[in-house]
């Protein structure tokens, strides 16, 4: 994306003509990075979370809450994947093409249902890990840590 954007700026400033497909390509790359990135973030336990409430709970209640949260998140992701599959299907039947590159539009969003499903699976694995293993886990491979030293600085 950076190379594409820089090349487009150089073309626009140096030659008064931009690369005609540059913005479209960047939109596709943003979709790709987003839906591959959310799965990786879930796998590594690096997703955005608001832990103030669960940090106040005891270890057992925090673990139960984490199971509930991960299963709820997985359910929502699978529902969104279902809707995105329906959307991709409608794009396939509409035969829409992208304006600049003239490729079938559905090819640019095929990663969306895949990324949502894989991320949902990551959250199911996190829930199973919390059910089967001791401790509270952010993902199937990352255990949540509580730093008691932070409380002494308040």
User: Which residues face 137 on adjacent strands?
Assistant: 143
Tell me 137's DSSP state: B
Contact 5, 18 (CB under 8 A): no
Length, in residues, of the chain? 154
**pLDDT tens readout for residues 71-95:** 999 999 999 999 999 999 999 999 9
Note the pTM of the prediction, 2 decimals. Answer: 0.82
Say what the alpha-carbon torsion angle 45, 46, 49, 50 is, to the nearest 10 degrees: 100
Neighbours of 20 (CB within 10 A): 12
**pLDDT tens readout for residues 3-16:** 989 999 999 999 98
- Residue 57: partners with Cβ closer than 8 Å, 6 or more residues away: 65
Contact 110, 88 (CB under 8 A): yes
């Amino acid at each position: 994306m950076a190379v594409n954007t820089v090349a487009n700026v150089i073309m626009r400033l140096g030659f008064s003509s931009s690369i005609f497909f540059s913005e479209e390509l960047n939109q596709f790359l943003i979709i790709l990075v987003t839906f591959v990135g959310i799965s990786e973030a879930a796998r590594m336990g690096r997703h955005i979370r608001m832990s103030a409430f669960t940090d106040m709970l005891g270890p057992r209640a925090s673990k139960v809450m984490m199971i509930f949260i991960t299963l709820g998140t997985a359910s929502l992701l699978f529902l969104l994947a279902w809707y995105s599959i329906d959307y991709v299907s409608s794009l396939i039947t509409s035969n829409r093409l992208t304006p600049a590159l003239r490729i079938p539009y559905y090819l640019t969003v095929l990663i969306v249902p895949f990324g949502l499903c894989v991320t949902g699976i990551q959250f199911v694995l996190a829930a199973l890990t919390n059910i089967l293993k001791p401790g509270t886990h952010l993902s199937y491979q990352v255990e949540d840590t509580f730093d008691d030293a932070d409380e002494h600085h308040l």
